[in-house]
Amino acid sequence: MLNNEQLLIKIMELLDFDLKDIKLKQTLQKERFYTQEESNTKYKEHIELIFKSLNLDEQNKEFIDIFSELLFLYNIIYQKLLYYSLIEGYEKKLNWIILKRLVIPFLAYKFAKLDNKYNNRIDKNMPGGLFWYLPDMREYKNIKMPINYLMEWWLDLYGNNLSSLCNEIDDSNNEERAMSGSLNILKEWKTKDKLPKRSTLINYLDTTIKYLGIFNQNKANDIDKEYERVIDFIKNKQNLSIENLKNEIPYNSLVDEIFIEKKVISQNNKKRFIQFISERWSIPSKNSLKTKFIVGRSVHKLYRDLISYFNFKNSNDLEENKVIQLIYQYLASSTKNS
């Protein structure tokens, strides 16, 4: 079993960071990091540094509290089970139990509660109804890794095809990108079960492109005119059904009133609808893009690592690959607590 310090190091490895990347302090604090000192404050400090490196520190402070609490709970279990984990054949069994009984239900419950607050939602500005940070299980025979459908989300915001996006990337001032050509690389991100390097992600995502699939709110317009614009935007959005739209914004009854019941809604609700759409289909910042793709890459790596650690077969069969069971457990727990 890993202790909390080793777990934090593992998280950094999954994110492809090292100690210097997250600027861990030297001497005394570095020594504290490797001691057995039990301090929730200490773990929270290092989680904050990791989140800061992911540009998540300002996005949602509650993330830090969630992972700090999880480490605190894990440390209690670690102290009680360490002896048994040293018995031959027990360590993997205990780790599997901890995943199923603590980690998965805890994170599913906490993230579901976050989703009840619109501004704290993990999938805010992302395709609704999906857990973008998990492998996509909707097509049983074709599991998609997070980066696969992060690419679909990015292309939807871009508003054009993959070849056009790659042309813009290759035409940028980065000689390395221009020499290598981005089309094959981004095709792999969109369709393949291949783990990209973090440095490659950052290189290709750090590009200024022209977005055509976003909704630019015009503050000069009055509410009624802007409302008409947003309705036209939704109607012209390819592959967006009314049912899918209910997943995209947190106000299902409003969608029904507008598109099913054809009601005349209040000015206040028009403002809210415009806000929801403009936030969902907004231009992502470079930092936001990089953060989401790095998290997606890390989940992909964790998925592979768990399959390897538990000696499962990398297949879509629930019995051969029990990591899939963890994903289904998370989805069920999250839905129950939302």
Residue 171: pLDDT band with limits 50, 70, 90: confident
Would you say residue 14 has pLDDT above 90? no
Looking at residue 130, what is its pLDDT? 72
Residue 34 within any structural domain of the chain: yes
Residue 164: pLDDT band with limits 50, 70, 90: very high
Residue 112 within any structural domain of the chain: yes
Residue 331 within any structural domain of the chain: no
Looking at residue 30, what is its pLDDT? 47
Looking at residue 31, what is its pLDDT? 47
Residue 178 within any structural domain of the chain: no
Structural domain of 234: 223-280
For the entire predicted model, the pTM comes to: 0.87
With both helix axes pointing from N to C terminus, report the angle between 162-170 and 146-158 in degrees, rounded to the nearest 10. Answer: 80
Residue type, 237: K
Per-residue pLDDT tens for 214-242? 999 998 999 999 999 999 999 999 888 88
Q: In which region does residue 183 sit, left (phi positive, over 0), alpha (psi from -120 to 50) or beta (all else)?
A: alpha
Task: Quote the number of domains for the chain.
Answer: 2
Of 56, 88, 120, the residue at which a domain comes to its end is: 120
With both helix axes pointing from N to C terminus, report the angle between 61-85 and 91-98 in degrees, rounded to the nearest 10. Answer: 150
Neighbours of 158 (CB within 10 A): 20
Looking at residue 104, what is its pLDDT? 96
Residue 258 within any structural domain of the chain: yes
Looking at residue 34, what is its pLDDT? 47
Average pLDDT on 69-89 reads 88
Residue 199 within any structural domain of the chain: no
Residue 147 within any structural domain of the chain: no
Instruction: Assess contact for 60 and 120: CB atoms under 8 A.
Output: yes
Average pLDDT on 151-174 reads 89
Q: What are phi and psi of 136, to 5 degrees?
A: -85, 120
Would you say residue 297 has pLDDT above 60? yes
Nearest 10 degrees: CA dihedral of 284, 290, 293, 295? -110
Instruction: Assess contact for 85 and 91: CB atoms under 8 A.
Output: yes
Instruction: Assess contact for 118 and 272: CB atoms under 8 A.
Output: no
Residue 210 within any structural domain of the chain: no
Per-residue pLDDT tens for 80-130? 898 888 888 899 999 999 999 999 999 999 988 887 776 667 777 887 667
Which one of 55-59, 79-83, 137-141, 292-296 scores highest in mean pLDDT?
A: 292-296
Would you say residue 205 has pLDDT above 80? yes
Region of poorest pLDDT, from 7-11, 113-117, 131-135, 315-319: 113-117
Residue 178: pLDDT band with limits 50, 70, 90: low
Would you say residue 36 has pLDDT above 80? no
Of 57, 86, 120, the residue at which a domain comes to its end is: 120
Of 239, 256, 280, the residue at which a domain comes to its end is: 280
Region of poorest pLDDT, from 47-61, 262-276, 291-305: 47-61
Looking at residue 174, what is its pLDDT? 63
Cα–Cα distance measured from residue 311 to residue 330, given in angstroms and rounded to the nearest whole number: 21
